[in-house]
Amino acid sequence: MSLRKKLPSAQSLFAFESAARTLNFTDAGALLNVTQPAISKNIAALEAHLGTRLFLRGKPGLTLTSEGEILYRAVHLSFAAVEVAIDQISHKTPQNNVLTLSLSTSFAAHWLIPQMQEFRREFPDVTLNFQLTGGETTGALVACDLGLRHESKVAPGDHAVPFAPEWLVAVASLDYVEKNGMLDASLAGGAHSLVKLDSPRISWQNFLNATSQSHEPSLPEIRVPDYSVVLQTALNGRGVALGYMSSCSYLLREGLLLSALSRTLKTRKKYCMVANPNSHNLQLVEEVRHWICKQSSKITRDIASNFPESDVVTSGSGWPENANF
C-alpha cells in the first residue's frame, strides 16, 4: 500500500509534525498559517485513519503517546531530509557545506540530533544529510562522507577513528525505576519487562551471563526490530532496555535514562567514526568528525562517576558458541 493511501491527506502530516514539535495546536496553526480548529480537525482525521491516539490532551497541555513519539521521530527526520534535498536542488546551500552521514536511527535520534544546537554553534553553515538504518550500519560509505561503524564493520579503504567503547548498560526511565526498582532488586509490587531487539549482536542473556546476573526467566518481553524504538520504549517507561553507550550516553547524562542494574559490560571492542577518503570536502569531514568524537569523550567523562570501575565487567572472549552476535 502506498503512503498516500495510509494517510487521510498530506496536510494531516504537516499538521501532526507542527503540533508534535510545539505541543500546542494554536502554535502549530500559526506555523502553518491556519487556524487552531483546522489543526485539531487534521489531527483528529489522522488519529481516526490510523486507529490510534497520537496525543494525550490534559490540563498540563499536549503530550505525545508512544505511537505519536514513533511517528514524530520518523516524520521529523524525513522532513529534515526533504528540506536538505530542496536546498540542494535550489542551490540555496553550497554543495561544499553539505555532508551526508551514514548512521543508525538510534544514534541520529538519541545522540546527534539532540545536540544540534551545539553543532550549529560550531558549524553554522553546514547542512547534514542523513542515510539511516534501523540496526547497526555496515559496509563502505560509498555516497556518504562520514559514518558510525562497529570496528568489525569498517570497510577496507575507509578511515576509522575510535568514537566510543562498546559498553552496555541496562537502562530505564526514572519513573520506571521509581515504580519497579532496579532490575536486580525489584520493589514490592514491581513488574519488570525487558525490551529486546530482534536479532541482536549481543543478547540480553549474553549480557546477564557476562555480568554474573540473573533474572526471573518468566519476565515479559517487548521485542522490536529497530534499536531506536528499543531506546524510545525505555524512555516511555515501558521496560528495561540494553543500552549501548555509543547511542544512549547523551540520554544518560541528561537523566532521561538511568542505569537499572549495578553492573555494566565492556567488550574490548569499539565503535568508530569512519570517513570516506573520496569525500568532496575532506577538511570539513575531519572537522565534523573531530567535533563528534570530542562530544562523545566529554559526555563519557561527565557520566563516568555513575559507573564505578568495580561494577564495570570487561570481557573480550568466553561468549557461548551460540551467542547471537
Q: What is the CATH number of the domain that holds 48?
A: 1.10.10.10
Q: What pLDDT sits at residue 101?
A: 92
Element (H, E) at 67: helix 66-89
| 255 three-class SS | coil
| pLDDT tens digit sequence for 76-91 | 777 766 766 666 566 5
| 197 three-class SS | strand
- What residues make up the domain containing 42? 8-64
| pLDDT tens digit sequence for 132-165 | 888 888 888 878 999 999 998 888 888 999 999 9
| 34 three-class SS | coil
Q: How many domains are there within the chain?
A: 2
Q: What pLDDT sits at residue 89?
A: 65
Mean pLDDT computed over 12-24: 88
| pLDDT tens digit sequence for 177-207 | 988 888 877 655 567 888 988 888 888 888 8
Q: What pLDDT sits at residue 291?
A: 95
Residue 205 and residue 106 in one domain: yes
Within 10 angstroms of residue 177's Cβ, the number of other Cβ atoms is 20
Q: What pLDDT sits at residue 91?
A: 56
Residue at which a domain ends, from 46, 64, 82: 64
| pLDDT tens digit sequence for 44-59 | 999 999 999 999 887 7
> What pLDDT band is residue 7 in, cutting at 50, 70 and 90?
confident
> What pLDDT band is residue 224 in, cutting at 50, 70 and 90?
confident
Q: What pLDDT sits at residue 181?
A: 87
Residue 244 and residue 295 in one domain: yes
Residue 182 and residue 254 in one domain: yes
What's the pTM value of the predicted model, to 2 decimals?
0.68
Q: What pLDDT sits at residue 215?
A: 58
Mean pLDDT computed over 32-44: 90
Q: Is residue 81 in a domain?
A: no
Q: For residue 280, report the phi and psi dihedrals to the nearest 5 degrees.
A: -75, -15
Element (H, E) at 157: none
Who wins on pLDDT, 111 or 280? 111
